[in-house]
Amino acid sequence: MSWIKDNKFLVGLGGGTLVGVILLYFVGSQGAARYAASKEIFDTAAGEASGFERLALYPKIENKDSKSKALSDYKQSVESIQGVFAPYRPKEITNISSQEFTNRLLDANSVTRKAFEESGTSVPEPYFVGFERYKTTLAPGNTTGILDYELVSIKKLMLALAKVKPTELKNLHRPSLPEEDGQTFTPPADGVARSFPLEITFTGSEKSAREFLSAIVKPDDQYLVIRSLRITNMKKDPPKKEDAKFDRPAESKPAAGGADVFGGGFVLPGEEVPPAATPAAAPAAPVKADSSRILAQVLGTEQVSVFIRLDLLQFLPAKKLP
């Protein structure tokens, strides 16, 4: 104890050093634990970042340039498609007077009726180019523009139908537009075209149906889309053998001048040998019936009933891309 009393400075220095070492050890161990935890977090984040760098859309300069080019190409494609449909996008639809629309409607009805008459096609008595409600009344003034746009297309469609010479136009149905019933048409935000539905029913030959469908899919300044099509044979029963007419072979005529039907050359005992007889003409080959003509008498000449539901599309103004 006397040594401690005599060496208080050394004892204090040693004690302070010991306490400092203990504190350093404690602080160091705590720092090592925090370092290990931080290193683990860093390693995890580094692994995730490395995985992101391998992704196709990692935000680096090369990917940014590639994405910008893809967006530019997409914009050009959309603008090109909008240009293709430009002919079917009216520049402006302006209302005309109700009387002027009525005059155009009467003219379209007269022209199409005359075309059907010349082609031998019968039409239903109420026929008025699909605008039967305006036979005795004027169209509202605020609807004449869009109605006239629809009338022009229906007139062309009816003239195309008359050209293929169907037997009968059974029905032409045009649903009323919202504007005709006092409503307002509002195009959807993502809409590109407005549809004007139309239903046509007619009968005729298979050829007339085929040619009319071909005319629909070859538009000039109107774009038509067939939504529903039904073609049925007017003849419900299968063909019968009585429907076909077979060719009869020509009847053989007796030999002229009583010629020997056996061709001569027979000599009876005691008779002189006659001069060589002229050989009889070979019998004519039987006429072979034309099977294709027989089939044509029972197949392919039936009348068909055609129902078409289609949409006339009015393409809306092109949208500006950002």
**3-state helix, strand and coil shares in percent for the chain, rounded to the nearest 5:** 50, 15, 40
Mean pLDDT, residues 141-153 taken together: 94
Percent of the chain with pLDDT over 70: 65
Q: What is the dihedral of CA 89, 93, 99, 101, to 10 degrees?
A: 10
For residues 231 and 244, give the distance between their C-alpha atoms in angstroms, rounded to a whole number.
25
What does the pLDDT read at residue 187? 85
pLDDT tens-digit series, residues 35-71 = 677 777 777 777 776 776 666 666 667 767 777 888 8
What is the domain partition of the chain in residue ranges?
A: 2-84, 90-238+301-315
For residues 85 and 149, give the distance between their C-alpha atoms in angstroms, rounded to a whole number.
17
- pLDDT band, residue 80 (cuts 50/70/90): confident
Mean pLDDT, residues 152-169 taken together: 96
Whether 170 has a pLDDT exceeding 70, the answer reads yes
User: What homologous superfamily does CATH list for 90-238+301-315?
Assistant: Ribosomal protein S6/Translation elongation factor EF1B (3.30.70.60)
Q: Which single residue is written with the structure tokens 């539905």?
A: 197
pLDDT tens-digit series, residues 226-255 = 999 999 998 877 767 666 665 555 555 555
Find the range with the poorest average confidence among 152-156, 212-216, 283-287. 283-287
pLDDT tens-digit series, residues 106-116 = 999 999 999 99
Conformation bin of residue 114: beta by default, left when phi > 0, alpha when psi is -120 to 50? alpha
Whether 296 has a pLDDT exceeding 60, the answer reads no
For residues 215 and 200, give the distance between their C-alpha atoms in angstroms, rounded to a whole number.
14
- pLDDT band, residue 157 (cuts 50/70/90): very high
Whether 180 has a pLDDT exceeding 80, the answer reads yes
Percent of the chain with pLDDT over 90: 39
Higher pLDDT, 155 or 23: 155
DSSP class of residue 307 equals E
What letter represents residue 107's amino acid? Answer: D
268: CB partners within 8 A, 6+ apart: none
pLDDT tens-digit series, residues 102-144 = 999 999 999 999 999 999 999 999 999 999 999 999 999 999 9
Whether 316 has a pLDDT exceeding 80, the answer reads yes
For residues 83 and 86, give the distance between their C-alpha atoms in angstroms, rounded to a whole number.
5
What does the pLDDT read at residue 24? 63
What does the pLDDT read at residue 213? 93
Of 3-7, 46-50, 159-163, 180-184, which has the strongest mean pLDDT? Answer: 159-163
What letter represents residue 160's amino acid? Answer: A
Mean pLDDT score of the chain, rounded to an integer?
A: 79
What does the pLDDT read at residue 72? 83
Whether 271 has a pLDDT exceeding 80, the answer reads no
